[in-house]
Amino acid sequence: MSLRLTNLRVPADLPEDELPQAACSTLGVPRSELARWRILRKSLDIRDKREMQFVLSLEVTLAGDERRALELAAGNRRGVTVEPYLDEAFELPQPGIQELTHRPLVAGSGPAGLFAAYFLAAGGYLPLILERGQAVRQRIRDVQAFDAGGPLDPESNYLFGEGGAGTFSDGKLTCRNSGPDVRRVLALFAECKGKASVLYDHRPHLGSNRLPAVVKALRRQIESLGGEFRFGCRVEDLAWDDGRVRGVVSSSGYLAADLVVLAVGHSARDTLTMLHQRGVPMEPKPFQIGLRIEQPQSQVNRVQYGSHPWENLLGAADYTLIAKGQQPVFSFCMCAGGQVIPSVSEAGHFCTNGMSLSRRDSPFANSGLMVTLQPEDFGSPAVLAGMHLQRQVESRAFERTQGGYRCPIQRAQDFLAGRATDERPPSSYPRELAPGNLAGLLPPVVEAALRASLPRLDDVWRGEFLREATLVGPESRGSSPVRLIRDPQTMQAPGVVGLYPVGEGAGYAGGIVSAALDGLRAAKAIMATYRPLAESRPS
C-alpha cells in the first residue's frame, strides 16, 4: 500500500538522495522499511531568505503488511499530512466502430498537433501531419540566420515550423490542471529527451536548447507508429459539403480527409481568415497585450534570494507579479536568465517574446507585462477585430523603428517620465535596438494600465523593480483573440463533422502543456468514434 506525504519541508540545500530518510523520520520508521519512493510535487518557499525550503509531496511504499501503513496514515505527523495514495491510471477509450476512408490529417505540429498525432498513431490511426514550416534542424538554421540580421523567412521562423512557437520559448511545462492525462503528457515529454524533474517540479522548465531535441524525438516516435510528416505544406483551404469535412487544399495540392485536427496556432492569421471566410463558427475572445520588461538577472536574484548566494544552488530566480486595479497588469512568461526575441512571422510587423536555455545562464531576466483586452475593447464587433488590432500594433512598431526588425526599447523610468531614451541600453535582444519612446505604441487603455501599475510593482520590490529595467515591445502574441467554436463532448466544430479545432490557435489553451492536453482530448474523441485505420489495411 502506498502513502502520500504532503507538506514535507526540507532545507533547500538537502541532497535529493536524502529525501527517503526525511520521509522515514517523519513516519517514525527505519529506512529498511521503505520499499519505494518518488516525488509527486516539489516547490520552493522563498519567504525566509536565510532558510529557504523545498515543500514536497512524496509517494512512499512500505514493506510489510497493509495494516501498518494504515496506522501511519492516521492524521498528521510533524505537520506533514499522511494519507493512503492510489495513483489514478491513464486510460484511452475503446475504439469506436465508424470506418475511416482516409488518414486523419493533423494541421500543425505545435504541442496540440504533436500530441494529437502521437496518441492517434499509438492507436493505429496512421495520422498525416502537415506543417507549413520546416523540420526543426532547418528551422534552427533559419532562426539563427534571422537573429544575425538576415531576412525573415515567413514560413520558418520563431513562430512557424516543427514544434510550433513553443520550440523557441522558455520551455515552461506548467499547468493548472492535474490528473492522469497531465501526468501522461509530462511523462511523454520526459521520455522524449526531456528530464525526469518535469514530472514533479512546481514550475518545470526545459529550455529552448532542449526543446528541439524533444520535438524531434516525439516526431520519430510518431513516425515509428505509422504517422507521416510533410514539412513546407501549408493548409490554404478547407473542403466540405453536406456538413462534413472532405479534405484540405494545401500548398502541395489537394488531400482528401474524413478528419482534420486543426492545430495551426494563433499566429496563423491567414488560416484563421480563411476559416472565417469559409463560415467555420468562431467568436472573439479576450486576449493579452503589453510590453516586455528586461532587468539584470543579478538584480532579480538579489530581490528574491536576499544576500545569500542561493543562485549557485537553485539557479536564476524568477518571479510572478500582479498589480490589481481597474485594468490589472500581470507578469507573463517570465524568462529567468533568458533573452528577448523577435517573435515575428509576418513581414512588416514586429513583436517580442522571451526565451531561455535550460541553464538559464544569460545575465538578463525578462517578462511580459500584460493587460487583458475584452472584445468590447477591440473597437469593432467583427469576429477578427482582435486579430486586426494585433496587426495594427505590430505594424506601428515596425514603422516606428524604420523597419529591419529593430527592437523598440525605452528605459522604464523614462517611460514613466514621458521622455525618450536616447542611448542604447544593455539588452539581450539579438538584432539592432531602436531606443526612443514607446508612448502611443499600444492601445490607450493598455498604456494607461501600464503607467498606473509600474510604480505599484516597483513598490512591491522596494524600488528595485524599475531601477535598471528597460521596456521593449510590443508583446502581442500571448494568446489568441478568437475562439473556434466546438462541441465540448465531440470536440468538433458545429455543422462541420470531422473538423477538430484544438490548441492555442483555436482558443482552448494557454501554454505548452495545456495545448498538448487539448490535442490529447481530440485524439480521445476521435478514437472513441472511429476504428483504427491500421485494422483495415494490410500489414
Domain ranges of the chain: 2-85, 105-283+482-536, 287-475
Mean pLDDT of the chain: 94
Our measurement of the distance from residue 491's CA atom to the centroid of its chain's CA atoms, rounded to an integer in Å, reads: 21
Whose grid coordinates read 486586426?
A: 388
Type and span of the H or E element at 367: strand 364-373
CA distance 463 to 455: 9
Type and span of the H or E element at 324: none
pLDDT the model gives residue 536: 54
CB 364, CB 296: distance < 8 Å? yes
Whose grid coordinates read 495545448?
A: 515
For residue 175, CA distances in Å to 25, 167, 368, 474 come to: 32, 17, 18, 25
CA distance 377 to 443: 9
- Provide mean pLDDT across the span 159-185: 90
Type and span of the H or E element at 498: none
pLDDT the model gives residue 535: 67
Sheet strands side by side (includes 364-373): 322-323, 329-335, 364-373, 287-296, 470-475, 407-411, 433-435
pLDDT the model gives residue 176: 80
**pLDDT tens digits for range 215-227:** 999 999 999 999 9
**Matching CATH number, 2-85, of 3.90.420.10, 3.40.50.2000, 3.40.50.1220, 3.30.70.2700:** 3.30.70.2700
pLDDT the model gives residue 180: 95
**pLDDT tens digits for range 274-328:** 999 999 999 999 999 999 999 999 999 999 999 888 888 899 999 999 999 889 9
Class of domain 105-283+482-536: alpha beta
**pLDDT tens digits for range 253-277:** 999 999 999 999 999 999 999 999 9
Statement: residue 392 has pLDDT above 90: yes
CA distance 193 to 206: 10
**pLDDT tens digits for range 99-130:** 999 999 999 999 999 999 999 999 999 999 99
| Grid cell at residue 5 | 506525504
Statement: residue 538 has pLDDT above 70: no
**pLDDT tens digits for range 413-470:** 999 999 999 999 999 999 999 999 999 999 999 999 999 999 999 999 999 999 999 9
Give pTM, 2 decimals.
Answer: 0.94
**Dihedral sign of CA atoms 533, 534, 535, 539 in order:** positive
Q: How many alpha carbons fall within 13 Å on the CB side of residue 174?
A: 11
Least confident of 19-28, 69-78, 142-151, 390-399: 69-78
Q: How many alpha carbons fall within 13 Å on the CB side of residue 269?
A: 20
Residues in contact with 49: Cβ distance below 8 Å, sequence separation at least 6, in sequence order:
305, 306, 307, 308, 310
CA distance 134 to 328: 38
Statement: residue 539 has pLDDT above 70: no
Statement: residue 20 has pLDDT above 80: yes
Tell me what percent of the chain is helix, strand and coil, each rounded to the nearest 5: 30, 25, 45
Instruction: Write phi, then psi, for 106 (nearest 5 degrees).
Output: -115, 115
Q: What angle do CA 133, 477, 338 make, to 5 degrees?
A: 85
Q: What angle do CA 113, 114, 116 make, to 5 degrees?
A: 65
DSSP letters for 235-292? EEEEEEETTEEEEEEETTEEEE-S-EEE---TT-HHHHHHHHHHT--EEE--EEEEEE
pLDDT the model gives residue 316: 94
* Three-class secondary structure of residue 308 per DSSP: coil
Instruction: Write phi, then psi, for 101 (nearest 5 degrees).
Output: -90, -35
